Amino acid sequence: MKLFDVYPLFDIEIAKGIGCRTYDKEGIEYLDLYGGHAVISVGHSHPFYVQKLTQQLETLVFYSNSVINNLQVELAKKLGKISGYEDYSLFLLSTGAEANENALKLASFHTGRKKVIAFSNCFHGRTAAAVRVTDNAKIVAPINEGFDVEFIALNDLDAVQKSLRKGDVCAVIIEGIQGIGGIHIPEASFLKALEEECAANGTVLILDEIQSGYGRSGKFFAHQYAGIKPDIITVAKGMGNGFPVGGVLIHPKFTASYGLLGTTFGGSHLACSAALAVLDIIKAEHLVENAQKVGAYLIEELKKISKIKDVRGVGLMIGLEFFEPAKPIRDALLFDKHIFTGASGSHTIRLLPPLSLSKSDAELFVKKLKEVL
């Protein structure tokens, strides 16, 4: 059997990772400013993370959601505390798409409606409902076209108001910061108005913090810059530092009932151990503050480079838009300077490093980027 060929691959095989560095099978070292799609939050092979996962592997990897799992309870408590959402409930699953799928489902159960508002250039995943509310016709199969979605330009409050006031919208789903769409931050005043309009029209506000959450923006959640409290928040990626784990944070107004949601693998003992280790490291090493500080430094330095058309983002979620196509720049960074970065569209490079990135590594990147440009 061969692999189903859906990923364009770099001719590099990564064999090892330590902190913000990865190593290929020849031992060549790469600075990782991509974190494997914003997944590596606390750094590759963090000793505490490895120790906690090893201990759990030797004890119990998995038992089903039909028995008490106190690791889930501990995770919900710690996540509630660190994020400022102690009164919300947590539903655990394994991926970001699943988190959004369940968030949308919950919104629909709660409101009895099925129309959704999402935003131009958004990405929410590839499962049925998550892909339906993703603004990329190429990845929506006919079978996914099951409910009404209206895509509205980011920050266009008038259009959102007009639509919400018809009274038939189940949910508004919005990324804390648009990631795949090229690092676009919704305006704080827009988010504030969105929160009010959703409440006034009985619509559920879902904040997708799968890429922008878990400290990446320099706050635990990017939407916290706007001072809002959404009805539902979805998380994944950095939550497990590479172990697949995701979650839905749910406002107390939603009523749970047996069988309403469910999953086989979500919240397994091993997944919870990974997620607990991540939260412990984020707290002990002040990684949210580090993301804020090192990110601010990086953004300031990058803004001084005249060959970059636009620098967008906050914390360690940064987009660099170039006047020319970004691919040759990204390739030169990777193959000549051994630095991993991400892409977005044709002209933008995304930086999504581990939250533990040091100022000296940020300086190194700026120096290497200048050499490439």
**Shortest spacing between CB 201 and ligand PLP, in angstroms:** 24
- Cβ proximity to ligand PLP: between 79 and 103 the closer is 103
d(CA 373, CA 163): 45
Query: Interface residues for ligand PLP in 118-177 (CB under 6 A)?
Result: 123-125, 175
Query: Interface residues for ligand PLP in 260-289 (CB under 6 A)?
Result: none
Binder to ligand PLP among 236, 281, 351, 362 (CB under 6 A)?
236
**Shortest spacing between CB 176 and ligand PLP, in angstroms:** 8
Taking 3-state DSSP, the helix, strand and coil percentages for the chain, each rounded to the nearest 5, stand at: 40, 20, 40
**Shortest spacing between CB 135 and ligand PLP, in angstroms:** 12
**Shortest spacing between CB 125 and ligand PLP, in angstroms:** 4
By CB under 6 A, is residue 231 in contact with ligand PLP?
no
241 within 8 A of 274, measured Cβ to Cβ:
yes
By CB under 6 A, is residue 182 in contact with ligand PLP?
no
* Nearest by Cα to 33 from 338, 323, 371: 338
**Shortest spacing between CB 175 and ligand PLP, in angstroms:** 5
Binder to ligand PLP among 97, 103, 311, 317 (CB under 6 A)?
97
The region of 74-82, 205-213, 288-296, 347-355 touching ligand PLP under the rule CB under 6 A is: 205-213
By CB under 6 A, is residue 101 in contact with ligand PLP?
no
**Shortest spacing between CB 246 and ligand PLP, in angstroms:** 6
d(CA 105, CA 55): 35
d(CA 305, CA 237): 30
* Nearest by Cα to 108 from 77, 80, 132: 132
- Cβ proximity to ligand PLP: between 134 and 356 the closer is 134
* Nearest by Cα to 63 from 266, 306, 248: 266
Binder to ligand PLP among 93, 107, 154, 180 (CB under 6 A)?
180
333 within 8 A of 327, measured Cβ to Cβ:
no
46 within 8 A of 279, measured Cβ to Cβ:
no
188 within 8 A of 182, measured Cβ to Cβ:
no
Binder to ligand PLP among 43, 96, 182, 186 (CB under 6 A)?
96
- Cβ proximity to ligand PLP: between 238 and 295 the closer is 238
Which residue in the shown chain puts its C-beta closest to ligand PLP?
A: 96
Residues near ligand PLP (CB under 6 A), total: 15
CA gyration radius, the chain:
20
Q: How far is CA 315 from the centre of its chain?
A: 13
22: which 2 tokens?
Answer: 């990865």
The region of 80-88, 142-150, 206-214, 341-349 touching ligand PLP under the rule CB under 6 A is: 206-214
Sign for the CA dihedral angle at 242, 44, 35, 212 comes to: positive
- Helices 269-284 and 287-303 pack at an angle, to 10 degrees, of 70
- Cβ proximity to ligand PLP: between 314 and 369 the closer is 314
What is the per-residue DSSP string for 155-167?
T-HHHHHHHHTTS
Residues forming the site for ligand PLP (CB under 6 A): 37, 95-97, 100, 123-125, 175, 179-180, 208, 210-211, 236
